[in-house]
Amino acid sequence: MRNTLKKIFALLLSSLMILGMFTACNKETTPETVPGPTEPAEEAKVLKVLTLGHSLAVDCGHMMNLILSTEGIGEYEEVKVATLYYSGCPLHKHVKFMTENAPEYNLYVSSTATPDSPPQIMQDVTMLDSLKYDYWDIIIMQGGVFEIAREATFQDGNIQLIQNYVNENKLNPLAYFAWHMAWATPVDNTLRDKYPYENNSYYTSYEIYDHQRSGFYGGIAQCVKDYIATDETFKFIIPAGTAIENALSSYLEEADLHRDYAHASDLGRVVASYTWYCRLMGVEKLEEIKLDAIPKAFLKSTEDKTQDRVITEAEKAIILEAVNNALANPLEMTQSQYTEAPAQ
């Protein structure tokens, strides 16, 4: 009897060991560039935001860590902001990459846990990698840089295809969608010449509106109004493009808010990022701009990167006005009261 029990015990132990080896050999792994997620602690209040986008989202995300840490994060202990980046990425290309599970992206990740650090970059990432990277609370979408004013972009079903893919693969079942309304790109030829863009879709976008920035912005706003504001799958819209347009109605010029044919300057990034901050934190109206300077580690377009870029009181006033007006009227430019530059 005793020998029989020993044999049964040995057989069970052997079976468990084999099962364990089989499980270990078949366990899914993530690329070394993208570590797996950590189970969220129930007591921790961490807001986690992922954007499926391109460089205009990087422009906003680059400053978010800085602004969140400066302005405060309310009830949260930490805020993590990430951007899945592919240059200029239109929605149809996102669909292609996700269908092929192609490692075509970079993933930019920042956290208020390291407030003095710009985003960290992970390369050769798939969309699936980014979705499995963490328990995201908000998934932000946006149109391609040069397609955001074209109705066809919103009519071809790609938004729904991406949403379906996200919903099938997200770790947090309560995660919801938001939309980043980006900005019209500059008409200033000197800015275009700084960074010539070979894809003629940039110029085609402006030909539609007779090379008028107001027309391009109006097209963006109309598309968001017709196709996003009426879509209940998007919980809110981030009107960064409207904030930029509001700021441009002041004495500031395109060269003050843009660094090239499409991207925001350091000051433009601050305007856009404050708009993101308000939407993510649920701020309906900013009382002040607490950020006094952009640390040199965060600078992109400022020529002198050996020292922090000071934000003047006059610039703070424009930022505050532009953001608050965008929050109040997200789909319409509001004329600035600051039309004359202060005396030197």
| DSSP reduced 3-state for 321 | helix
- Please tell me the predicted confidence (pLDDT) of residue 36: 60
Q: Which residues pair with 50 in a beta bridge?
A: 82, 139
Which residue from 147, 247, 260, 256 is spatially nearest to 195, judged by alpha carbons?
260
Q: Which residues pair with 80 in a beta bridge?
A: 48, 111
- Please tell me the predicted confidence (pLDDT) of residue 27: 32
Structure tokens at 145: 């840089």
Residue 343 lies in a domain: no
CA distance 288 to 223: 31
- Please tell me the predicted confidence (pLDDT) of residue 206: 53
Q: Which residues pair with 176 in a beta bridge?
A: 138
- Please tell me the predicted confidence (pLDDT) of residue 304: 87
Cβ atoms of residues 129 and 31 within 8 Å:
yes
- Please tell me the predicted confidence (pLDDT) of residue 21: 37
CA distance 222 to 234: 16
Q: What is the CA angle 141-47-44, rounded to 5? A: 155
Residue 187 domain boundaries: 45-328
**Which residues make Cβ contacts (< 8 Å) with residue 189, sequence separation at least 6?**
none
Which residue from 204, 234, 236 is spatially nearest to 219, judged by alpha carbons?
204
Residue 341 lies in a domain: no
**How many other CB atoms sit within 10 Å of the CB of residue 8?**
10
Residue 31 lies in a domain: no
Residue 167 lies in a domain: yes
**Which residues make Cβ contacts (< 8 Å) with residue 315, sequence separation at least 6?**
267
Residue 17 lies in a domain: no
- Please tell me the predicted confidence (pLDDT) of residue 260: 80
- Please tell me the predicted confidence (pLDDT) of residue 45: 93
Residue 70 lies in a domain: yes
Residue 3 lies in a domain: no
- Domain count of the fold of the chain: 1
List helix spans (H) across the chain: 2-26, 55-71, 91-100, 127-133, 151-155, 158-169, 189-194, 201-208, 213-223, 240-248, 254-257, 266-281, 313-328
CATH code for the domain of 321: 3.40.50.1110
Structure tokens at 237: 């819209």
Per-residue confidence of the chain (344 residues) as pLDDT tens digits?
A: 544 444 444 444 444 443 333 333 333 333 445 656 656 555 569 999 999 998 888 888 888 989 999 999 999 999 999 999 998 888 999 999 999 999 999 999 999 998 888 889 999 999 999 999 999 999 999 998 777 878 888 888 999 999 999 999 999 999 999 999 998 877 665 555 544 444 444 444 555 555 667 778 998 999 999 999 999 999 999 999 999 999 999 999 988 998 887 788 999 999 999 999 999 999 999 999 999 999 998 898 888 889 999 999 999 999 999 999 999 999 999 999 999 999 87
Residue 9 lies in a domain: no
By DSSP bridging, strand 138-141 and strand 120-125 are unpaired
